[in-house]
Structure 1
């Protein structure tokens, strides 16, 4: 299927990063176990999602595969609810977070971030008829407008800040928010723009459309605070992918090519 690692990886990329010796606690643990453990919610296509057969794929997963290859270790993907990812990282259950996670000041007080490696924003998924009357946040900021919002996300934070008068229905996940929209229990759902675009494409038959994003958000890799060398390693890793044009190519494969959507449940 789709594996970015199968593309040609410059030899310099591997040579530069396989020789990580006597590093910080996270890198030491990765090299000792010979396994890189990545945490993701697998609920934000095209960055990370589950296919019909349960395989986890996406831009984040391809990045993780490149990291593991560069370290000379195996990759293990742990699927964890989004609002439990940071606690899992803090407890050492995972080595880093790759899950379409926005870099925010509050989160950055708890964990370190590397990036951004992707830019997103908050958008509404709704029907064509409703979308025609939405020119901006002010048009939905009233008690009669119900919006499903995934809990523990920047979506929830921004919705509460930008739409304090709207009827916000806080749910566990994007999937639950989408189900409410499909059943017409809410007028819209709010989430990251790439996710909203994907669902608008998938459910064209229901008349769903994506509104232009209300915000711009940097997406980063989350790691624990106690390993500055890992932060340095990841920064150099992303810089090399940027300089070689590999990150741009990887992003284009997932954002511009919609063939993978057929694999969604």
Structure 2
């Protein structure tokens, strides 16, 4: 009986290994994951449709590879686990390609340099992180912003699933600041619900890791194909045009 169980376990392990060994390039449709509260990288328009730089970039890459895209919208801290479990084929969510993440997933060539803006109330905004000592900083869970806030060691960190909740905490006076990529901060500062209530106090490069598309660690074929398209788009000027469209401000 134990031999039978061992044989079945080995069979299941072999089947799982084979499933992961197959490349997403073998499929007609790529399953892509994002978290849709991070404009202009990704958000939903008035019709509830996903729009943004990452969305258009991913769909352009897929089209050039002869693939369709099926989108899944999920919490940011669920994105890499979904990729590692085989639930999705790639992640496009304004994600920074940090060395820690690169141990678990593959990243495409970077497509944008990452700088963060600190969003605070409009009255007496701080000039640097030193002025946030002893105060509450709201961040999205699982992000490089969360890691940076915790690394300060002298602030109270509150985490949320969505960035709009982080900004709302600042508006309500329950947090002194939140931080996010500069293009995203500009969107929130100008948004209807937050205009005139928050401002960008200062900018800071919190990590040397730039933005990239994440893919399964074992799918080298997909990584190579995506990188080939991004390189082609960079050389042709398509990537710059896409940046100008979504980050024109």
Displacement of 1:204 in angstroms is 3.0
**Is the partner of 1:240 in helix, strand or coil?**
helix
- CA distance in 2 between counterparts of 1:103 and 1:156 reads 15
Unpaired stretches in structure 1, ≥5 consecutive residues: 1-23, 258-265
- Judge conservation of contact 1:95–1:223 (CA < 8 Å) in 2: yes
Alignment of 1:54-69 (within 5 A): 54-69=48-63
Unpaired stretches in structure 2, ≥5 consecutive residues: 1-20
Alignment of 1:231-250 (within 5 A): 231-250=223-242
Structure index of larger Rg: 2
- Judge conservation of contact 1:197–1:210 (CA < 8 Å) in 2: no
- CA distance in 2 between counterparts of 1:187 and 1:84 reads 27
More displaced, 95-104 or 145-154? 145-154
Alignment of 1:13-92 (within 5 A): 25-30=22-27, 34-92=28-86
- CA distance in 2 between counterparts of 1:198 and 1:241 reads 26
- CA distance in 2 between counterparts of 1:179 and 1:123 reads 16
Which aligned segments of 4 or more residues in structure 1 are displaced greater than 4 angstroms? none
- Judge conservation of contact 2:39–2:52 (CA < 8 Å) in 1: yes
Find out whether 1:135 has 2:127 as its counterpart: yes
- Judge conservation of contact 1:136–1:214 (CA < 8 Å) in 2: no
- Judge conservation of contact 2:137–2:178 (CA < 8 Å) in 1: yes
Query: Corresponding residue for 2:202?
Result: 211
Displacement of 1:207 in angstroms is 4.5
Find out whether 1:108 has 2:102 as its counterpart: yes
Displacement of 1:110 in angstroms is 0.5
**Is the partner of 2:200 in helix, strand or coil?**
strand
**Is the partner of 2:56 in helix, strand or coil?**
helix
Task: Give the total of aligned pairs.
Answer: 226
Q: TM-score, normalised by structure 1?
A: 0.80
RMSD (Å), alpha carbons: 1.7
Q: TM-score, normalised by structure 2?
A: 0.85
